[in-house]
Structure 1
Amino acid sequence: MSVPHTVKGTVPFGEYKTWYRLSGDPGTSPRPTLVAVHGGPGSTHDYLRALEVFAAVGWPVVLYDQLGNGGSTHLPDKGPEFWTPELFLDELDNLLDRLGIADNYVLFGQSWGGLVVARHAAARPRGLRGLVVANAPASYPLWLREMEVLRAQLPPGINDVLLRHEAAGTTDSEEYHAAMRVFYDRHVCRLKPWPRDYQASFYEITNDPTVYHAMNGPSEFHVIGTLKDWGVEDCLPDIEVPTLVLSGAHDEATPETVRPYAELIPDARWEVFPESSHLPHLEEPERFIATMIEYLKGLPG
């Protein structure tokens, strides 16, 4: 399948700019545009490039870099008080309006992006046709509790290394990063080597960790940033559109963190990918594509 013509550009977001990539033409397609909201916070669109396959079968696709990373405006001098969930919700609203797709779209939110799209959907925007929540915890308190469970299951000595550096504030050390990689290889991406698109996003966080460190922390499993008490469980019953919930059997987003989406959203279906961790769209692409197309075709016209 060949991806239709792709346009890249930026839209103004207040005094800043949001970079986007649009595949397909929303103006001529009767189908809603699929808008992908990446994880992190502080990652980039790169690891979601595989979603452009849906533009080849009729759904225009928008990928974008959230403020602070990738092709969007970088703000390394902004403190934690600047980087709020509301900022990124406003950025998403602005992008939908600027691209002229706010009247007919589906949201795909991966990891942190899943919480963003859930909060957006709970406001019941007029043009939202469907919602995909992929590999996302419903709250960071849930996430942190489950991180303790996963860390305790790491090979002997690994968690001791992690704990020692976290207590000492030396999480930028090579020893910490090496121990961190053991967790990532089990629960973030089980493919070896890591796919190029995922590596690109990983290195973008390393190149400018401002947002990731402020909101999350030094790693996926040591959340000490501004998100540590944040979640979306309270608003899930307000979501009205058909919702597809995705997770991997080896996911850092464990069943306990994902279950509130399936139980609290009135019209939700939960699909678990048995060979995947946090990135089923890369780890089990054929099953992922088939699951998504079935869902997209089933949305009300």
Structure 2
Amino acid sequence: MAEMKSGYVDYKGFKTYYEIYGERKDNGKKPLLILHGGPGDTHLYLLNYRDMADLYDRQIIFYDQIGCGKSNIPHQEDDFYNYDLWIDEYYTVIDALGLDDFHLFGNSWGGMLAMMCMIKDDRGVASMVVNGSPVDNHTWLSEANRLIMYLPEEMQQAIADAEAEGGLYNTPEREAAYMEYYRRHVVGCDPWPDYVQEAFKPENVGECFGVMQGSSEFVMTGKMKDFYIKDQVKDIKVPTMLLSGTNDEATPYLIKECYDAMPAGTEWVLVQGAAHIGNATHAKEYFEAVENFISRHE
């Protein structure tokens, strides 16, 4: 396995943790920087992307966004957390790591963050992969509610009861419904891979998830509920590929909305059978899709 180096970048009086796999070589292969979701979910659920360092002799870089994982911080007031916090952190990290010619990958919220950064300032980015990310969270909410309707009626009711109590999944029936949604549309399997289980441990998920997202994965009550960049993504200049799965909670309908709003030339790879964390069940297809795209933009 490629050698791993880790460290911290100073940011807003705290520390942002990063991991780097492989060396930056003079082989024409630009580094790939990976942005995780949430906000607050840590890089761990995407950890097997580090295998791309060995498979393709390409440096792979992760960081835990401020407020989660190894970048966790003491309790903050809600107004501390906002889009600019993580946008500015992104530029702080790429500057600190000397990333001036690289590829960018973002899953879920990480893709939303990547798009916002590319709208603001795309310096240093040769290409971008957006994996399972909306341009309008009203569509995310309506699609989540539609997917829930395909669950057995007793599971639909259990989710409704849990959300009515602020996301309290404290009974066997509610937990079973939650896990079935995750099996179908989020992780795509049961049991979860070890690195996904580690990512979702309470000590790794930051309080910012509740502030920005809300009570659960599929009900958005936080600051992000009105996220909308549909009219802005047409201004993105870097070559972009959208990546998603047929079973993804970021449904093909949702990704089509993003695809239609993006500049001409944007590509879209739809992986049969994959859920939101497609790398957990369809690693080969996801790695190959990413590498095939970014290698055309070296």
Shorter-normalised TM range: over 0.9
2:239 corresponds to: 242
1:161 corresponds to: 158
Question: What TM-score do the two structures reach when normalised by structure 1?
Answer: 0.92
Secondary structure (helix, strand or coil) at the match of 1:233 reads coil
Query: Unaligned regions of 5+ residues in structure 2, if any?
Result: none
> What is the CA-CA distance between 1:159 and the residue it aligns to?
1.3
1:109-188 paired onto structure 2 within 5 Å: 109-169=106-166, 171-175=168-172, 176-188=174-186
Check if 1:230 corresponds to 2:230.
no
Q: Runs in 1 of length 4+ with deviation above 4 angstroms? A: 205-209
The correspondence for 1:79, drawn from 77, 80, 96, is 77
Instruction: State the Cα RMSD in Å.
Output: 1.7
Number of residue pairs matched by the alignment: 295
Equivalent residues of 2:188, 2:278 under 8 A apart: no
Question: What TM-score do the two structures reach when normalised by structure 2?
Answer: 0.93
Provide, for residues 228-272 of structure 1, a one-character-per-residue CA deviation record: whole Å limited to 9, x for no partner: 111321221011111111111011001222123322222311111
1:178-217 paired onto structure 2 within 5 Å: 178-203=176-201, 205=202, 208-217=205-214
> What is the CA-CA distance between 1:9 and the residue it aligns to?
0.8
Secondary structure (helix, strand or coil) at the match of 1:81 reads helix
* Residues 223 and 181 (structure 1), Cα distance of their counterparts in 2 relative to 1, 3 Å cut: same
Distance (whole Å) between structure 1 residues aligned to residue 254 and residue 203 of structure 2: 26
Check if 1:12 corresponds to 2:24.
no
1:37 corresponds to: 35
Identity %: 30
Secondary structure (helix, strand or coil) at the match of 1:35 reads strand
Query: Unaligned regions of 5+ residues in structure 1, if any?
Result: none
Distance (whole Å) between structure 2 residues aligned to residue 264 and residue 170 of structure 1: 33
Equivalent residues of 1:37, 1:109 under 8 A apart: yes
Distance (whole Å) between structure 1 residues aligned to residue 214 and residue 165 of structure 2: 15
> What is the CA-CA distance between 1:212 and the residue it aligns to?
0.9
* Residues 194 and 170 (structure 1), Cα distance of their counterparts in 2 relative to 1, 3 Å cut: closer
